[in-house]
Structure 1
Amino acid sequence: MTTLTPGAPAAQPATRTAPAATATELTKVYGRGETQVVALDAVSVEFARGEFTAIMGPSGSGKSTLMHCMAGLDSVSAGSARIGDTELTGLKDKHLTRLRRDKIGFVFQAFNLLPTLNALENITLPMDIAGRAPEPEWLERVVRAVGLEGRLKHRPGQLSGGQQQRVAVARALASRPEIIFADEPTGNLDSRSSAEVLGFLRNSVRELGQTVVMVTHDPAAAAYADRVVFLADGRIVDELREPTADTVLDRMRNLPGSRSPVGARSDSDAR
């Protein structure tokens, strides 16, 4: 398996193509009157195809809300969210469900594996539900990329935390989605397993041409990305290319609302 280092640049397409996802003046408001909270304040951002982007910011900055709105997991109050050429705003539930199933992969902090299914069955489950057969050659590449060749018959209870998250990454990749959204994917892992999973996400971009957008609080995790987008108070306030853990940490220290130590565990960032 190819060994990858944090921040290794993704292979860029020779010609300009439409972004994998786009937000335009995206606004999300919770509540009304005195209890109103503006979680996203007219955010505009593009996520290029074949690129690994990390989203960072203080607790409550809106990073998870941005990902959830871009992935069609939450509605928007104003503005536009697009996956490829498809506008999410106004899509009926049936069409939104189909788009999430066919064009978006998800990796969460919780592995969300079914304990009664083995690793291979968990990987192919979304396609099985959709009545679609996986592409054998692609599935083999994905399994090889995440290093699960010898573990496909094991159930989640027989796998380590890092191996379970590899299964979740493979499941997200197996349908060849337009984009993968990862929300704190290493939050439940030790440092070694975290590095493995981040390496596999990096590998999916570099070798499989995948697009990954990851919410994280960890500068070391963000260093695996090609680009880091920083949010504060619901707005994009900074951006960093070719990040390192040190440069990310320096930027985070200067963001509005960065009162707590960077890298401290945050189990939830619902806003």
Structure 2
Amino acid sequence: MTTLIEREHTHQGNAVSARGLNKNYGRGETAVSALRNIDIDFDASRFTAIMGPSGSGKSTLMHCLAGLDSTDSGSIHIGGTDITQLNDTALTALRRDRIGFIFQAFNLVPTLTAEQNITLPVALANGTVDRDWFTFITGTLGLTDRLNHRPHQLSGGQQQRVAVARALLTRPEVIFADEPTGNLDSRVGAEVLGMLRRSSQEMGQSIIMVTHDPIAASYADRVVLLSDGVLAGELENPTPETVLAALAKLGA
């Protein structure tokens, strides 16, 4: 059986780093600078939230960091790999093998069971599931008795737990979470956020989450603030109150 001790990360330093990151949409007079000269590091084995007013660039930043969107200039490193230098095939392989994703919409395949949805990335890569690790994470997430259920037979919270398990199964270097509690009520959202925090604290997982919710952000170790495409500060050990105060200063 996989234990927390066995899962303890030895890697130190940055899970993700960006330097001189710029991203523009449109051209000429209609051009919008979504990101402007961003320099940022995300520590390994920590839970970081990205926040800012609507249109601040937080989702664009996450999509660029995860290799889901291209940049106009600058570099992004995941571990020791500059993903801005990869071709489409190599970038697809990196996202499959080294990154986990959790989305607001769950993105489960309706015809597959919970277990099949969790193991789908491994199956697509023609890999072998580590059954000890599978048993550990599904047990930790309270899914053991739901593995044969299809998504329509699961509650929203259970579906999001399946998505979390899917993201954890491949032991990715980093998990990107895009408004992961946006479709959940406050009780179930707190449950999922608690699980994300535990996966960071107890499993050594690196997590980068975009959220607009100060309560969700308070589960993170650190909050990075954006405004008009530039970094506008950060908070360590955030609380809902300190996040709200920081956002108020940004006019959010």
- For the superposition of Structure 1 and Structure 2, which TM-score range results when normalised by the shorter chain? over 0.9
Q: Does 1:97 align with 2:96?
A: no
Give the match for residue 247 of structure 1. Answer: 242
Q: Does 1:68 align with 2:63?
A: yes
Give the match for residue 54 of structure 1. Answer: 49
Give the match for residue 4 of structure 2. Answer: none
Equivalent-residue separation in structure 2 for 1:136 and 1:47 (angstroms): 30
Equivalent-residue separation in structure 2 for 1:114 and 1:132 (angstroms): 19
2:47 maps to a residue whose letter is F
Check the 8 A contact 1:145/1:203 in 2, yes or no: no
Check the 8 A contact 1:145/1:204 in 2, yes or no: no
Shift in Å, 1:138: 1.4
Give the match for residue 215 of structure 1. Answer: 210
Give the match for residue 159 of structure 2. Answer: 164
What whole-Å deviation, never above 9, does each CA across 1:93-128 have from its counterpart, x for those lacking one? 110000000000000110100111110000000110
User: Do the aligned partners of residues 141 and 16 (structure 1) sit closer, same or farther apart at CA in structure 2, a change above 3 Å counting?
Assistant: closer
User: Counterparts of 1:105-254 in structure 2 under 5 Å?
Assistant: 105-254=100-249
Shift in Å, 1:170: 0.5
Shift in Å, 1:132: 0.5
What whole-Å deviation, never above 9, does each CA across 1:159-197 have from its counterpart, x for those lacking one? 000100000010000000000000000000001110011
Q: Does 1:40 align with 2:35?
A: yes
Say which SS state the counterpart of residue 175 (structure 2) adopts.
strand
Q: Does 1:84 align with 2:73?
A: no
Equivalent-residue separation in structure 1 for 2:140 and 2:212 (angstroms): 25
The farther-off stretch of 179-188 and 137-146 is: 137-146
2:146 maps to a residue whose letter is R
TM-score of the two chains, using structure 1 as the length reference: 0.88
Equivalent-residue separation in structure 1 for 2:13 and 2:193 (angstroms): 26
TM-score of the two chains, using structure 2 as the length reference: 0.95
Say which SS state the counterpart of residue 145 (structure 2) adopts.
coil
2:144 maps to a residue whose letter is E
State the 4+ residue runs in structure 1 displaced beyond 6 angstroms.
none
1:205 maps to a residue whose letter is S
Q: CA RMSD in A?
A: 1.3
Check the 8 A contact 1:81/1:89 in 2, yes or no: yes
Equivalent-residue separation in structure 1 for 2:176 and 2:185 (angstroms): 21
Equivalent-residue separation in structure 2 for 1:155 and 1:94 (angstroms): 31
Say which SS state the counterpart of residue 167 (structure 1) adopts.
helix
Say which SS state the counterpart of residue 14 (structure 2) adopts.
coil
Shift in Å, 1:16: 7.5
Structure whose residues are more often helix by fraction: 2
1:21 maps to a residue whose letter is V
Shift in Å, 1:90: 2.6
Equivalent-residue separation in structure 2 for 1:137 and 1:20 (angstroms): 25
1:167 maps to a residue whose letter is V
Check the 8 A contact 2:11/2:44 in 1, yes or no: no
Check the 8 A contact 2:64/2:71 in 1, yes or no: yes
Equivalent-residue separation in structure 2 for 1:228 and 1:147 (angstroms): 28
Shift in Å, 1:140: 1.6
Equivalent-residue separation in structure 1 for 2:135 and 2:244 (angstroms): 37
2:245 maps to a residue whose letter is D
1:195 maps to a residue whose letter is A
Equivalent-residue separation in structure 1 for 2:246 and 2:114 (angstroms): 39
The farther-off stretch of 18-27 and 168-177 is: 18-27
